[in-house]
Amino acid sequence: MKQATNNEILKIEKLKKYFHIGKDKKGPIYVRAVDGVDLNIKYGETLGLVGESGSGKSTIAYTVVGMYRPTSGQILFKGKNIGMEASRRSLSSKKEIQIVFQDPGSSLNPRQTIEQILALPFRIHTHMPKRQFREKMVELLEKVELSPDYLYKSPPSIGGGEKQMVAVARAMASNPSLIVLDEPTSALDVSVQAKIINKLMDLQKEMHLTYLFITHDLSLMRNVANRIAIMYLGKICEVAEAVTFFEKPLHPYTQMLISSVPVITEEEKKLKPKKVISIGEIPSPVNIPPGCSFHLRCPYKMSICSKVDPEMIEVSSGHIVRCHLFAKLENKKQERSDWCEEESAIY
């Protein structure tokens, strides 16, 4: 069991989360939502987690926060193991880790006022007398640029962007260190998104927060995250610094995703890798193909890809890929000569 290094606020090791959904002749059937993930987040950084639906990114977020119990593996937060459901965690863990959900409509109780919604974390995590709540709440609302009269409003009467700001305020109320943001702006428009993202960035600096930012929007990720991890069918394919991720994407899936982002400006167009046509549907996490889980859609498939699951390979400092194409750093493999031809084909 490794220990977390000093500058890592969160360390995820070999995390697996399987959901049991039934049985067939061969035995129990599982949805392998998260299938062996290693990830760490440094203090003060924004780690971006990118993937399509079924990739497991939301499952990781929910397991970190305590909605699910890991099937195996461990999660270390500030050195302490938190790999259990929220109800069994210590109060301080619950205070320190907060989450902002994707859908602002269902993450706030429509039958409460904003005052009541914000009062809950204050009541649980601080020892302030009730009289002081209001002052603090107004302060909090100010931080997210909402006027004090929002305290008496109810979620159904305010817009989506404002609701999400309330959700952010609620997350900040307990003074956390790590905030998980699960697609916080996916349901919102571009201009509202810009406002919220800017606010989040400001608040991160002001309150020394660490973010685990999940989204499927690559262009947003580029401007928000310090490091980006991309997931496919429960496993991480590539992790890199944001700039490297877009300038030198290595994994074929990464290239496929980046090439399908619709862009506006000429400079962006030049940056995109050549068009990788995505073939077929996304397979379900119940029937994960053997070998590399991506091989059925991969344009650079080799014979080894359908048999052996690749290992994570560190290509350069901080840039790791899970793909047989880069197995040159591994011990002797028969397909090494193939790889040389493949690599030149990508660029």
Query: Residue 94 or residue 324: which is nearer to other proteins going by CB?
Result: 94
**Segment interacting with other proteins, rule: CB under 8 A, options 25-33, 89-97, 302-310, 327-335:** 89-97
Interface residue with other proteins among 3, 6, 157, 317 (CB under 8 A) is 157
Query: Residue 250 or residue 257: which is nearer to other proteins going by CB?
Result: 257
Q: Give dist(CA 2, CA 26) in Å, integer.
A: 35
Residues 35-74 that bind other proteins (CB under 8 A): 52-53, 65-67
Query: Residue 264 or residue 329: which is nearer to other proteins going by CB?
Result: 264
Residues 286-345 that bind other proteins (CB under 8 A): none
Q: Count the residues of the shown chain that bind other proteins, applying the rule CB under 8 A.
A: 81
Interface residue with other proteins among 4, 192, 312, 315 (CB under 8 A) is 192
**Segment interacting with other proteins, rule: CB under 8 A, options 21-29, 40-48, 158-166, 232-240:** 158-166
**Segment interacting with other proteins, rule: CB under 8 A, options 41-49, 108-116, 285-293, 301-309:** 108-116
The reply to whether 195 sits near other proteins by the rule CB under 8 A is yes
The reply to whether 21 sits near other proteins by the rule CB under 8 A is no
Query: Residue 238 or residue 313: which is nearer to other proteins going by CB?
Result: 238
125: left (phi over 0), alpha (psi -120 to 50) or beta: alpha
The reply to whether 218 sits near other proteins by the rule CB under 8 A is yes
Interface residue with other proteins among 194, 286, 296, 308 (CB under 8 A) is 194
The reply to whether 95 sits near other proteins by the rule CB under 8 A is yes
| Among the listed residues 203, 311, 33, the one whose alpha carbon sits nearest the alpha carbon of residue 325 | 311
Query: Residue 15 or residue 258: which is nearer to other proteins going by CB?
Result: 258
**Segment interacting with other proteins, rule: CB under 8 A, options 18-26, 41-49, 93-101, 316-324:** 93-101
Block residue for tokens 């074929």: 252
Q: Give dist(CA 80, CA 129) in Å, integer.
A: 30
The reply to whether 111 sits near other proteins by the rule CB under 8 A is yes
Quick note: the x/- pattern for other proteins over 236-275, rule CB under 8 A, is: ------xx--x---------xxx-xxxxxx-xx--xx---
The reply to whether 207 sits near other proteins by the rule CB under 8 A is no
The reply to whether 205 sits near other proteins by the rule CB under 8 A is no
Interface residue with other proteins among 40, 58, 59, 107 (CB under 8 A) is 107
Q: Give dist(CA 168, CA 196) in Å, integer.
A: 9
